[in-house]
Structure 1
């Protein structure tokens, strides 16, 4: 399903204690399948209690580049108005850091 040069990265963060995602999963997670060589995000999914949330996040990230940190953070800020907006931003930053660490090994 994914090419041999793809890698799987999970970014994590916390959400507010009254958020349904926190109550169900104890945190917020974004999973990304990334082309190791180009940084293109091939697939994305996040913890959510509503399927449309994960589908929206997938559409927002797929075919973008994990290295375009500022662009994608602006996308989240201007398009995603769910209660876990900040958690999504932190989780993506966390995934970005992990990608950079992997590439610098």
Structure 2
């Protein structure tokens, strides 16, 4: 039985020398619960170190649509100034690419 919401993870390298890099082996991880059919982000969890960064990432992403990845990336570029900014963008693009593969498979079966 397919559920409407799916779980996707993405990984990206972190800059050397930041705390998250030392704690998480040099990678940032994000888990996204997304509606398989609409692309709407329902929830996220990420491996940022501080609770504030995790909360801010959630505020930036929950309710957004992965299909609007360019707009999401633009908002991150304009508003997120943590040391892991490039990694945050890369991991989201990784999730988006995986989502596109999943959607393509769904359309083929229809």
Distance 1:63 1:95 in 2: 16
> Using CA pairs below 8 Å that are at least 6 residues apart, which structure has the higher relative contact order?
1
Structure with bigger gyration radius? 2
Q: Which residue of 2 aligns with 1:23?
A: 22
What is aligned with 1:14?
13
- List runs of 5+ in structure 2 lacking aligned partners: 106-110
Q: How many residues align?
A: 102
Give the unaligned 5+ runs of structure 1: none
Q: Conserved in 2, the CA contact under 8 Å of 1:45 and 1:55?
A: no
State the superposition RMSD in angstroms: 0.8
Normalised by the length of structure 1, the TM-score is: 0.94
Measured in 1, the distance between the counterparts of 2:82 and 2:73 equals: 14
Runs of 4+ in 1 over 6 A off after TM superposition: none
Q: Provide the C-alpha distance between the structure 2 equivalents of 1:78 and 1:29, rounded to a whole number of angstroms.
A: 21
